[in-house]
Amino acid sequence: MKLLRKIVQQMKFLVMGCGSIGTRHIASLKALVPQAAIDAFDPQPDRLKKAVQKFHVNPIRDNAIDSTYDCVFICTPPVLHVELAIRALKSGSNVFIEKPLSSDLNGIEKLQGLVKSKQLLAFVGYNLRFNKGVNMVRQMVKNRKFGRILHASAYFGSYLPGWRPGQDYKKSYSARKDLGGGIIYDGSHEIDYMAWLFGRPLSIQSEFVVTDTLSADSEGIADIVLKFQKNILGYIHLDFVRRDWRRALELLCENGIIQWALPDSRIRTFNVRTKLWRTTRVDETLNDMYVKEIRHVMKCLETKSRSEIIDLENGISTLRMCVAVYEAGLSGRRVSPSSTASKN
């Protein structure tokens, strides 16, 4: 793995939250910038201790963020994201906020204002934008390889109790509405990359349920219908109950079909003219996209340039779509993402 330049190696980072995604980012940082100083915080002493022992990071005792870091990685439950990001920005630190940006729109304008006034960088971690397969599909869409897109359907299903081995899923933020959980926000990768492919939807309809097969008060199954520009109709299914993890996308085009799936890591295309299916293997591990994401963040920090892939404004746009999905499900009405309002 190619290391980053010396200037990045001398940087200092703080990782807030040492759960599965926090430790994944620590691992990427250690691999890409092994000489950098990394502090870590977690309110659970045992989890923090494991991270310190495994990665040799420096533990800190609280979440005050009273020091300036080159970047603070916020990997806590979503309800804490904005509060901690504001605290980090006030300290003069750039921030990387794990998805979703938040569980509501409260404080978003204040967050935007601080990023602008302090001339700092803010990233929101939608790692599927760095997936090789998704990028290959995006290129096909841009090149109109099979003509116009007529319909797009995305699928994500995974059994929540099996997500984090060794942890009681009922205590995780994913299962708890008060911590910002639920499949709509936790599964927002699909909402995000659909907008990346086709632009922000014009309208959203949805239905969701809190399933009694899980000990959770957050929604566990959701179905979403999106109307995009150019008369593209989209559909997203998200669930916490599928026993065999699957993530997939299918595009129906004028002259063919495009399919992408994980964990298969392959793209299948059907050509109307030849009447043949073609399979292309994607040479990439699941962890590669996370490493690419952190490499991208490091380069932005080094050049002090805003990300064109996972910047704050994109994270806010995706959050507004999540809010619209939830509102549509509650009201039974079609909702526009632009109609959702933020509060300071």
Q: Over the Cα atoms of the chain, what is R_g?
A: 20
2 three-class SS: coil
The predicted pLDDT at position 1 comes to: 54
- Residue listed under structure tokens 């292309």: 280
pTM of the model: 0.95
The predicted pLDDT at position 8 comes to: 73
Q: What structural domains does the chain harbor?
A: 6-98+122-127+289-310 (3.40.50.720), 132-283+320-339 (3.30.360.10)
The predicted pLDDT at position 166 comes to: 76
Structure tokens at 7: 């200037």
Structure tokens at 90: 């006030």
Residue 154 main-chain phi, psi, to 5 deg = -115, 150
- Residue listed under structure tokens 């911590």: 179
Q: Cα–Cα distance between 132 and 286 in angstroms, integer?
A: 10
Structure tokens at 82: 């904005």
pLDDT in tens, the chain (344 residues): 555 565 677 899 999 999 999 999 999 999 999 999 999 999 999 999 999 999 999 999 999 998 999 999 999 999 999 999 999 999 999 999 999 999 999 999 999 999 999 999 999 999 999 999 999 999 999 999 999 999 999 999 999 999 887 789 999 999 999 999 999 999 999 999 999 999 999 999 999 999 999 999 999 999 999 999 999 999 999 999 999 999 999 999 999 999 999 988 899 999 999 999 999 999 999 999 999 999 999 999 999 999 999 999 999 999 999 999 999 999 999 999 987 766 55
Q: Is 144 left (phi over 0), alpha (psi -120 to 50) or beta?
A: left
Strand order in the sheet with 71-74: 58-59, 37-41, 12-16, 71-74, 94-98, 122-125
Structure tokens at 232: 């593209």
Q: Cα–Cα distance between 79 and 201 in angstroms, integer?
A: 25
